Amino acid sequence: MTYSSAILPDEYYVVFTESKIHHWIFKILHKDFGHVYAVKSLNDYQWLVIQPRINIVETSIKLKSHYPHIRMLTGPDAEVIKVKVNYSSKARGGLNWFNCVEQVKALLGIKSVFTLTPKQLHDRLMRV
């Protein structure tokens, strides 16, 4: 078996939800896009859920026997976009605050410093 030197693309489900917390910032953000996180299929049996929080990342493994479809894992009200990621070796700049949008952008290799909110990230992914 031979391996290519090219990095194979990863596939993530990027999930946009309403925020579960009440904060003044949500008065200026889009109501339906308060939080973003990512889910990856690890194999035929497991999901990897990457749940960014401010300054930390919570990860968990969910069994596909309990959640056979992505919608069962995310809930019916979530907006889900499937994204193929080709990583670049170029350095990525950011605003140095580690909110959910910045963490998902880093995961997907998005270098835009002007994508700041979950709604802006959603619109950017829909254009691609």
Kindly report, residue by residue over 58-105, the tens digit of the pLDDT: 999 999 999 999 999 998 889 999 999 876 655 555 555 678 888 899
The alpha carbon of 119 is separated from its chain's Cα centroid by a whole number of angstroms, namely: 12
Question: What are the boundaries of each domain within the chain?
Answer: 10-127
Report how far residue 22's alpha carbon sits from residue 34's, in angstroms, rounded to the nearest whole number: 10
- Lookup result for tokens 């049996």: 45
Return the axis-axis angle of helices 118-127 and 100-108, rounded to nearest 10°: 30
- Give residue 51's pLDDT band: very low, low, confident or very high (50, 70, 90): very high
Tokens of 115: 């994508």
Listed in order, strand segments (DSSP E) in 64-110 are: 79-85
d(CA 57, CA 11): 19
Q: What is the pLDDT of residues 29-48, one digit of tens each?
A: 777 788 899 999 999 999 99
